[in-house]
């Protein structure tokens, strides 16, 4: 296999999986800070919560974290005896957010490169479209 052939296959595979990579990077970034779960007075937008369920459980539906139950409300009124997490926890969350944003940016560049550098542009667009529509179609089955 030549370098040109490898590069072309790399582009084809990358275009096909790019929509899923973007989806998992962005929904994972939201989950780092629990923005997909209701807590306190915060209620996540319905779409964020459902997309999180796709990320975690492969179902477009509300997860177990849709509403704060009576047990959670009682816990919120209790005194805060819990120890704060070690410094490494928030540092890792912020590092992984940077990684998720870097992956998103790198994937966007990869899509642009794939769509502009591959001679078979129609094939490139079809692979990108298939990579976006196939998971959505499977989800609806």
Tokens 């992956």 locate to: 103
Judged against a pLDDT cut of 70, whether residue 76 lies above it is answered with no
Q: Which carries the bigger pLDDT value, residue 106 or residue 40?
A: 106
The pLDDT tens digits of the residues spanning 32-63 come to: 888 787 778 888 788 888 888 778 767 777 66
Q: Going by C-beta distance under 8 Å and a sequence separation of 6 or more, which residues neighbour residue 94? A: none
Q: How far is CA 94 from CA 34, 103, 130, in A?
A: 13, 14, 33
Segments making up each domain of the chain, as ranges:
3-70+87-140
- What integer is the mean pLDDT of 89-113? 95
Q: Output the pLDDT for position 74.
A: 46
Judged against a pLDDT cut of 50, whether residue 137 lies above it is answered with yes
Does residue 7 contact residue 37 with C-beta atoms inside 8 Å? no
Task: Please state the length of the chain.
Answer: 141
Q: Which carries the bigger pLDDT value, residue 127 or residue 41?
A: 127
Q: How far is CA 85 from CA 74, 77, 91, 131, 134, in A?
A: 21, 20, 11, 39, 40
Q: Output the pLDDT for position 48.
A: 82
Q: How many whole angstroms separate alpha carbon 92 and alpha carbon 96?
A: 6
Does residue 127 contact residue 15 with C-beta atoms inside 8 Å? yes
DSSP 78: S
Residue 100 parent element (H or E):
helix 88-117
For the chain, give the percent of residues with pLDDT over 90: 49
Tell me the backbone φ, ψ of residue 39, rounded to 5 degrees: -155, 140
- What integer is the mean pLDDT of 86-103? 92
């Amino acid at each position: 296999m030549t370098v040109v052939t490898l590069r072309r296959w790399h582009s084809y595979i990358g275009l096909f999986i790019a929509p899923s990579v973007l989806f998992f990077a962005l929904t994972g970034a939201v989950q780092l800070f629990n923005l997909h779960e209701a807590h306190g007075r915060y209620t996540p937008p319905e779409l964020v919560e459902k997309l999180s369920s796709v990320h975690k459980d492969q179902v477009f539906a509300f997860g177990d974290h849709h509403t704060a139950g009576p047990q959670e409300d009682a816990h919120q009124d209790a005194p805060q005896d819990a120890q704060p997490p070690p410094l490494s926890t928030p540092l890792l969350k912020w590092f992984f957010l940077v990684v998720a944003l870097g992956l998103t940016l790198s994937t966007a560049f990869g899509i642009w490169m794939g769509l502009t550098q591959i001679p078979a542009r129609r094939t490139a667009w079809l692979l990108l479209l298939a990579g976006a529509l196939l998971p959505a179609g499977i989800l609806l089955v």
